Structure 1
Amino acid sequence: MIHFLRSCAAVLLLAGGVAGPLASQPIALRTTRLLADPGRGNPAPGTVVVDGDRITAVLPGTAPVPTGARLVDLGDATLLPGLIDSHVHLTGDPGGDFRQEAVETDEYAVAVGAKNALATLRAGFTTVRDVGSGRLTAFALRDAIARGLLPGPRVIASGPALSIIGGHGDVNNFRPEVSAALDQGNTCTGAAQCAARVREAAKRGADLIKITATGGVLSQQARGLDLHFTPPEMAAIVETAASLGLKVAAHAHGDSGIAAAAAGGVTTIEHGTFMSEATMRTMREKGTWLVPTLMATQGLVDRLGKSIYTPVVEAKARAAADAWGKALAAANRAGVRIAFGTDAGVFEHGRNGEEFALMVEKAGMSPRAALVSATAGAAAMLGMEDRIGSIAPGKFADLVAVEGDPLTDPRALTRIRFVMAAGRPLSLDARMTP
């Protein structure tokens, strides 16, 4: 395999993951299998021309390469829009003792995030939504990547999720003075305080608001997986966020919390593990997106019965495993809009692409529908369909080439041969003509 772009100034060495500048000349990516819009048509020969961070032309396979462009021959690899993961936690890794929260620093979390951002990019994901981190860690990572200091996907970050006191997202099971030291200022009680927390998050630089609308599987509290916020609190969060131009993502497992969040106007339901058909109808009517995160359950299943989780968490994890994929299958049949998301951080970063096969095998989605959820679908959910999600002139040069046909084999999306993020190539298994 060739792990670099020969004779090209825009080199990002795969072995070291070293960030580099944009190409000093246009690049023409040629393939016998171009799938510019995963929602329609089949792969066909074509060439994508990139100049700087944008796509400037999409040409049929027989068209000549523009004068001055450097040709990259991807052979029979399927060239797709860069993939989008709508639910990650870049600054954390799975499997650690929850008490490490009291030991590891925010600075260390940013270093972990840099490692995971590179792994995520290598997996073909060029945009991610980071929905839960330390107060400023994901913002620092986002900005460093955007400025070209680190290789990684485009990051849309929420910072810490808003939580009720003592709920999922709050600091639990520490001595009071330790909890006070670890407090992120992300809990609220009552509509006025919840509105204030949204404004504070916006002031710190949040791109969206994340809330924990229900209990969570991995939090150290045994108060179930149902509704957390009151209707007035939920309304205050959503209305305040909207006034600031921010969408709201709602972590929600239990049906009561999912129903309240959807009725309250959140943009996305994260997980949606135990939602009812009635709640699905509400989501469809409201246009609420489901971000299913089946890989999160895979991460739980991989660790069950191994004394990794506390008894409290183990019981909740087993309940989630029993429902694995069922809600997504029903929601897809009910016409709920699906945006791809994995919960990377609950499992190892870089395995994001394994979600596609789970969507097909556990929930009965077609390979095309699963792929659309991670391209045009997720782009529409983010309100970025004019910039990402398909290959077209004027859009960001976010591109991934895979071995095989993702329209028939979802595991093809784990066989990555080339990645380009905003015009910066990361890895290549191709021939470049001089």
Structure 2
Amino acid sequence: MHKKLIVALATMLAGTAANAETFAIQAGHVITDAARPARGAATVIVTDGKIVRIEDGATAPAGATVVDLHDKTVMPGMIDVHVHLTSNSGEPWYQGLTPKYSEPYAATIGLRNALITARAGFTTVRDLGGPALASIAMRDAISEGGFPGPRIQVAGPALSIIGGHGDSTVGLSPNLRAAVDATGEQFWVCTGPLECEKAVRKIASYGVDAIKFHATGGVLDDGKIGLEQHFTDEEMKAICDTAHQLGLKAAAHAHGAKGIGAAVRAGVDSIEHGTYADDADVALMKARGTYYVGTLMAFSGLQLYLGKGIYTANTEAKARQTLLVWGKALNRAYKAGVPIALGTDAAVFPHGRNGEEVGLMVSKGGMTPRDALIAATKGGADLLGLSRETGTLEPGKSADLIAVTGDPLTDPAAVTHVSYVMVEGRVVPMR
């Protein structure tokens, strides 16, 4: 009986492979690796979600679906390592307190924004902060092919100190705060190394792909604590050590210089924002191999909504403060040779504008267009542990590719003109 079942299963799988659709993607130019010159006219052959080969000229195997992109540049899909798909920009700070903002509703928001992000040319993203169940449901629904979107890694809720960035009771009335505290549902708000270890394990138990913590204060919360160090050195080390023991990378939201340095010494894998990173921070990051994720588009989002009643007075003050140093820390890290990955903080600005980060990395961060493109592809793949799967176009790798108008190796604006997207061999509908 078991032998018959195995034979039947093998026959079914063989038939699936034999009937797998083959694509012949014919491009005017192909960037296989952002660190190398582009090839001329070439065809990318894709079968069963994988790149089979890349041939010069316009060719097509018998029976292949031909995709005519002869006037486009085909390149690896971009990777955004810092998004928030289950929330939207331009909403008042209290929006999450309304009755409709349940986890099931957040999942529907995430699915919609995931498609918008994929259409913008991002075939992989890391969601660094959202409701655990909603985030995982969104990730898995897309991974299983039920909904179109990018490959997604999720972190669930980010760890916070009491009253710090990420404590959702900040700004509430005393009675509301007491009611929330009484539920005990904010398990990600922790104090002391042991409690923080427990919070990491709790978040990990949901099946997340990474752990995020708020090493410093944040811009968008209503707190007056500021943007310097929140968790103690010992708490940060407990968070990072526990995450690594569980096979997860740790990402630190960090603005202030002291908090950045503390997070790097604690063993964090990436510094997110890093707004006030100084020379000592940068030197430490270079020595430890810590990734820098500048999220320059977040500053565009701040500019977009300042003075419109969306932010509280405390938030507005912090936002104006950070805008004075927009991109300066990225430039410092880039010149020092710190590894860089593209991240945007999407949801602080409208989803779908993620590609503008590449241009800001050039204009604000002082990077070359090529190095910005490397950060947007290979950098993200390396940080997320996906270099064997994506980040470049090579035989055997996942068919994560996009078509753009122009040459993104010399013109960063080219990546904002996306006409075709394929994620793991699945074509993303563009409208």
Per the normalisation by structure 2, the TM-score is 0.92
2:400 to 398, 401, 404: 398
1:92 and 1:25 map into 2 onto residues whose CA distance is: 35
2:246 and 2:189 map into 1 onto residues whose CA distance is: 19
2:167 matches 1:170:
yes
The answer to whether the 8 A contact 2:282-2:338 is kept is yes
Identity, % of aligned positions: 50
Secondary structure of 1:29's partner? strand
The answer to whether the 8 A contact 1:134-1:184 is kept is no
The answer to whether the 8 A contact 1:43-1:78 is kept is no
Shift of residue 201, structure 1, vs aligned partner: 1.1
1:215 and 1:182 map into 2 onto residues whose CA distance is: 22
Shift of residue 179, structure 1, vs aligned partner: 2.9
2:413 to 402, 411, 414: 411
Gaps of 5+ in 1: 1-22, 430-434
The answer to whether the 8 A contact 1:160-1:184 is kept is no
2:121 matches 1:124:
yes
The answer to whether the 8 A contact 2:80-2:342 is kept is yes
Show the counterpart of 2:53.
57
Show the counterpart of 1:8.
none
1:87 to 82, 97, 111: 82
2:75 matches 1:75:
no
Shift of residue 417, structure 1, vs aligned partner: 1.0
In the alignment, residue 87 of structure 1 is paired with which amino acid? H
2:262 to 222, 246, 260: 260
Show the counterpart of 1:230.
232
Show the counterpart of 1:239.
241
Show the counterpart of 1:153.
150
Secondary structure of 2:205's partner? helix
1:365 and 1:237 map into 2 onto residues whose CA distance is: 32
Shift of residue 415, structure 1, vs aligned partner: 0.2
2:422 matches 1:420:
yes
The answer to whether the 8 A contact 1:329-1:363 is kept is yes
Within 5 Å, give how 1:423-434 maps onto structure 2.
423-427=425-429
In the alignment, residue 311 of structure 1 is paired with which amino acid? A
Shift of residue 253, structure 1, vs aligned partner: 0.3
Shift of residue 135, structure 1, vs aligned partner: 2.6
Q: CA RMSD in A?
A: 1.6
Show the counterpart of 2:141.
144
C-alpha spacing 1:182/1:101, structure 2 compared with 1 (3 Å): farther
Secondary structure of 2:167's partner? coil
1:257 and 1:385 map into 2 onto residues whose CA distance is: 29
Show the counterpart of 2:25.
29
Show the counterpart of 2:207.
205
Gaps of 5+ in 2: 1-18
1:297 and 1:107 map into 2 onto residues whose CA distance is: 30
Shift of residue 178, structure 1, vs aligned partner: 4.2
Listed one character per residue, the Cα deviations across residues 88-137 of structure 1 (whole Å, up to 9, x for unaligned) are 00000012122222212111111111110110010010100000001311
2:216 and 2:227 map into 1 onto residues whose CA distance is: 5
Listed one character per residue, the Cα deviations across residues 234-264 of structure 1 (whole Å, up to 9, x for unaligned) are 1111111111110000000000110000111
2:430 and 2:76 map into 1 onto residues whose CA distance is: 16
2:25 and 2:70 map into 1 onto residues whose CA distance is: 10
2:430 and 2:234 map into 1 onto residues whose CA distance is: 52
Shift of residue 60, structure 1, vs aligned partner: 1.9
Secondary structure of 1:204's partner? coil
C-alpha spacing 1:367/1:42, structure 2 compared with 1 (3 Å): same
The answer to whether the 8 A contact 2:289-2:338 is kept is yes
2:278 matches 1:276:
yes
The answer to whether the 8 A contact 1:102-1:178 is kept is no
Shift of residue 76, structure 1, vs aligned partner: 2.0
Task: Name whichever of 92-101 and 350-359 sits farther off.
Answer: 92-101
C-alpha spacing 1:205/1:428, structure 2 compared with 1 (3 Å): closer
Shift of residue 42, structure 1, vs aligned partner: 2.4
The answer to whether the 8 A contact 1:135-1:184 is kept is no
Aligned length: 407
The higher-RCO structure (CA 8 Å, 6+ apart) is 1
Secondary structure of 1:368's partner? helix
Secondary structure of 2:70's partner? coil
2:223 and 2:378 map into 1 onto residues whose CA distance is: 37
1:58 and 1:305 map into 2 onto residues whose CA distance is: 51
In the alignment, residue 72 of structure 2 is paired with which amino acid? A
Listed one character per residue, the Cα deviations across residues 304-337 of structure 1 (whole Å, up to 9, x for unaligned) are 2223211100000001111111111111011111
The answer to whether the 8 A contact 2:126-2:153 is kept is yes
Show the counterpart of 2:37.
41
1:105 and 1:266 map into 2 onto residues whose CA distance is: 31
2:64 and 2:305 map into 1 onto residues whose CA distance is: 49
Listed one character per residue, the Cα deviations across residues 188-221 of structure 1 (whole Å, up to 9, x for unaligned) are 1111111111111111111000000000000110
Secondary structure of 1:200's partner? helix
2:78 matches 1:102:
no
Listed one character per residue, the Cα deviations across residues 109-167 of structure 1 (whole Å, up to 9, x for unaligned) are 11111110110010010100000001311111001001111111111000000111111
In the alignment, residue 179 of structure 1 is paired with which amino acid? V
Show the counterpart of 2:112.
115
In the alignment, residue 35 of structure 1 is paired with which amino acid? I
Listed one character per residue, the Cα deviations across residues 313-367 of structure 1 (whole Å, up to 9, x for unaligned) are 0000001111111111111011111100000011100000011111111111111
Show the counterpart of 2:8.
none
Shift of residue 377, structure 1, vs aligned partner: 1.1
1:149 and 1:428 map into 2 onto residues whose CA distance is: 17
C-alpha spacing 1:307/1:182, structure 2 compared with 1 (3 Å): farther
Show the counterpart of 1:179.
180
1:337 and 1:426 map into 2 onto residues whose CA distance is: 30
Listed one character per residue, the Cα deviations across residues 375-422 of structure 1 (whole Å, up to 9, x for unaligned) are 111101111100000001111111100011111111110000100011
Secondary structure of 1:260's partner? helix
In the alignment, residue 47 of structure 1 is paired with which amino acid? T
